[in-house]
Structure 1
């Protein structure tokens, strides 16, 4: 196999295959062919001679660089021309003659024949080429075994993924959600690494191949692992510090990734070192928290170790752990598989731990209930003894009461005789009290109406608003009540000694249509002004009245003027009539 780098990227197959051009080809001595020339067409010339004598073998050429942006295979025909087939990560999967995740081409090479084939390649990174020549039987056997193992790999991952999604909704536990995200990231990473996603999931959308770039999918695996491991440790030992360190590690990883993709690009070894340091910080803190809680999860530690191996191997594609390139490439898949299984075992161990904790708590709770029941039984026994003692006391008291009941019956007979006498005395007292009360009421009223009452005595008779309203209500409705709205004569007493009609529910205040209607100052002070206005022996000036009652001079003058209007309206005679007659006069 020989190669040529076209610096113009404009040469055609006719130019390349011309006999005069063959001297420009160089011998291939390295799996990478050439490290540079990423923006130039790389031409490969392959000369194959079938030295076997078996006629029923068909031969296939396979290129393992499945993520090549573009590869064009030129197949020689009997006319001396070439038939081309163009495929790659930038073209729909259906463009390939053989629908395989790698690039496979039928050579049509009979025993004794020798043919020259050409390849034109565009690539985005200096990948290492792995070329194979296989017979039809070997090609089919290899493909079936490869797809079988990959099918088992993805099948198990999908089963674990679906199971954890189910547990997420069933148990409402975010741990399974994080683990589902981790498995999904591993599946996505694997799809981008082996090319099966392009073949089976988005064969007609080659643009989606960009989001399965190994650096992006590996970033998802790292972030998902950090989130899951944080939640895993928090289930054992809640630690805000670990949560903050996990967020810090995620932020640092995103910054390093953005710098690697958009800024200053680090070499593989420094980039791996920085990534591992970022991952080690939350891992070691989480491990410390587990050990502090006396949890020794070897499966968790080994799973993290597998993650480190995946990172190291995927970022250093030149590392060859095995001589077989197929095993060397696919070694990441079993490592991921082991990592998922180990994390699953960690979850199962955690479930067992939580079950043991629950059983321990349940046992302690059972013991506590037994102790509580024991105390309850003891208290019940003591209570029964006390009830028995109390019952005996009650029976004894009942006997005593029975004997005393006889004495009480005898006493009751005597009491009834005395009660008859007391009732006669009470009847006499009620009549005397009635007369006395009428005498007191009449005396109080006379005190309120007599002209010789001074201010201090007046305040004793009408000390507040309620006493004034009560007196005014009795004065206003002493004959009978008639509703002003409907004329009904049945009422219920309302607030402030008012009357509420039982027919139309109209409420009438004692001050309505009286001298105190719409009064703007305390009614007990208005009572006193009215009282003074009916006395001939007292003549206070407005200033003196204002000072005594703590009212404005204009307020006193306005109400005295209102009293004078009421006097004029009723021809009031101070000597013959009391001041209470003016109270019911509405001068307006």
Structure 2
């Protein structure tokens, strides 16, 4: 029993350590303004039943300046328009929207007041139809020094309206993205190793706590992969319907088995009767929801 608790505790600490390493490794690298910057953004919120054309949106007098760098409007049904200038035409040629859970994102490149390019994507669109096959929404564009450019985004979603945008030099972005991909691969690889390690122990010892930990870690892996878009990119790129439902499944799955595992591992039935009742209530509530 001591060995069992030690093995599971070790993998718990390993998962926490790798999570912290991942977060520290993905901190924003140092880039000059010629390679990457967050633009000064204006936004326009439109009621969901009010459909605007690009001309109508641009002509609206309801635009407001966004104070924070990363737009986060919470859970709203409104359509959100963002607009911002592109100020370094010689080096900047890529827009990144760094949140993969948006249902519909429409990109408009405005050149001298006219629409030069329009691209529609989002997690309601098959992955292969993205302009660049990446877990984030990427929009490449070309510019001429003789012209003035503005980017207009129209965003609709049923989930959290988070629209973190950044303008990049494409080469700098892919260098940065390559580092991120390596960190993600290391992180996922360790989690998968932990899953199979505990699965083999469960097969040998038939101790339920190992299976519960496997399911908890699997749910956590699915949740993290869904949040950053990796599952859509690699597991079901041709299934937007599944992508739109996966978060609704991953969150309760992960929470349910984490609670059940914690109750079993900590032996709450004997060591903490009050906490045990609370955890049982949360398990029941999660199962119903």
TM-score (normalised: structure 1): 0.38
SS of structure 2 residue aligned to 1:83: strand
Cα distance change of structure 1 residues 134 and 229 upon mapping to structure 2, 3 Å threshold: same
Establish whether residue 129 from structure 1 lines up as the match of residue 158 from structure 2: no
Corresponding residue number in structure 1 for 2:220:
186
Q: CA deviation at 1:257?
A: 4.8
8 Å Cα contact 2:109/2:116 also seen in 1: yes
Q: CA deviation at 1:218?
A: 4.1
**In structure 2, C-alpha distance between the alignment counterparts of 1:183 and 1:34, rounded to whole Å:** 29
Q: CA deviation at 1:126?
A: 4.9
Deviations along 1:38-93, one digit per CA (max 9) or x if unpaired, are 223221222212265xxxx4521111122111111113479944432211122221
SS of structure 1 residue aligned to 2:84: strand
Establish whether residue 41 from structure 1 lines up as the match of residue 91 from structure 2: no
**In structure 1, C-alpha distance between the alignment counterparts of 2:275 and 2:246, rounded to whole Å:** 25
Q: CA deviation at 1:199?
A: 1.3
Corresponding residue number in structure 1 for 2:45:
5
Establish whether residue 207 from structure 1 lines up as the match of residue 236 from structure 2: no
8 Å Cα contact 1:223/1:250 also seen in 2: no
Q: CA deviation at 1:26?
A: 2.5
**In structure 2, C-alpha distance between the alignment counterparts of 1:204 and 1:243, rounded to whole Å:** 47
**In structure 1, C-alpha distance between the alignment counterparts of 2:188 and 2:249, rounded to whole Å:** 20
**In structure 1, C-alpha distance between the alignment counterparts of 2:120 and 2:253, rounded to whole Å:** 32
**In structure 2, C-alpha distance between the alignment counterparts of 1:42 and 1:207, rounded to whole Å:** 23
**In structure 1, C-alpha distance between the alignment counterparts of 2:210 and 2:75, rounded to whole Å:** 46
Establish whether residue 232 from structure 1 lines up as the match of residue 268 from structure 2: no
8 Å Cα contact 2:75/2:161 also seen in 1: no
Corresponding residue number in structure 2 for 1:305:
none
**In structure 2, C-alpha distance between the alignment counterparts of 1:82 and 1:109, rounded to whole Å:** 10
**In structure 2, C-alpha distance between the alignment counterparts of 1:230 and 1:11, rounded to whole Å:** 52
**In structure 1, C-alpha distance between the alignment counterparts of 2:113 and 2:269, rounded to whole Å:** 75
Corresponding residue number in structure 2 for 1:418:
none
Corresponding residue number in structure 2 for 1:159:
193
Corresponding residue number in structure 1 for 2:254:
221
Establish whether residue 94 from structure 1 lines up as the match of residue 128 from structure 2: yes
Higher relative contact order (CA 8 A, sep 6+): 2
**In structure 2, C-alpha distance between the alignment counterparts of 1:257 and 1:183, rounded to whole Å:** 17
1:454-469 alignment to 2 at 5 Å? none
Q: CA deviation at 1:34?
A: 7.2
Q: CA deviation at 1:36?
A: 7.1
Corresponding residue number in structure 2 for 1:59:
93
8 Å Cα contact 1:93/1:204 also seen in 2: yes
Establish whether residue 108 from structure 1 lines up as the match of residue 142 from structure 2: yes
**In structure 1, C-alpha distance between the alignment counterparts of 2:113 and 2:66, rounded to whole Å:** 29
Q: CA deviation at 1:139?
A: 0.6
SS of structure 2 residue aligned to 1:49: coil
Corresponding residue number in structure 1 for 2:231:
197
Q: CA deviation at 1:101?
A: 1.1
Cα distance change of structure 1 residues 112 and 135 upon mapping to structure 2, 3 Å threshold: farther
Corresponding residue number in structure 1 for 2:208:
174
SS of structure 1 residue aligned to 2:183: helix
Q: 64, 77, 81: which one pairs with 1:26?
A: 64
Cα distance change of structure 1 residues 219 and 149 upon mapping to structure 2, 3 Å threshold: same
Q: CA deviation at 1:125?
A: 4.4
Q: CA deviation at 1:245?
A: 6.6
5+ long unaligned stretches in structure 2: 1-40
8 Å Cα contact 1:36/1:126 also seen in 2: yes
1:367-516 alignment to 2 at 5 Å? none
5+ long unaligned stretches in structure 1: 262-588
SS of structure 1 residue aligned to 2:86: strand
Cα distance change of structure 1 residues 169 and 63 upon mapping to structure 2, 3 Å threshold: same
SS of structure 1 residue aligned to 2:282: helix
8 Å Cα contact 1:5/1:37 also seen in 2: no
SS of structure 1 residue aligned to 2:82: strand
**In structure 2, C-alpha distance between the alignment counterparts of 1:258 and 1:240, rounded to whole Å:** 19
**In structure 2, C-alpha distance between the alignment counterparts of 1:223 and 1:37, rounded to whole Å:** 24
Corresponding residue number in structure 1 for 2:174:
140
SS of structure 2 residue aligned to 1:73: strand
Provide the alpha-carbon RMSD of the alignment.
Answer: 3.2
TM-score (normalised: structure 2): 0.72
Structure with the bigger percentage of helix = 1
**In structure 2, C-alpha distance between the alignment counterparts of 1:79 and 1:27, rounded to whole Å:** 20
Q: CA deviation at 1:117?
A: 1.9
Structure with the bigger percentage of strand = 2
Cα distance change of structure 1 residues 136 and 24 upon mapping to structure 2, 3 Å threshold: same
Q: 53, 56, 63: which one pairs with 1:15?
A: 56
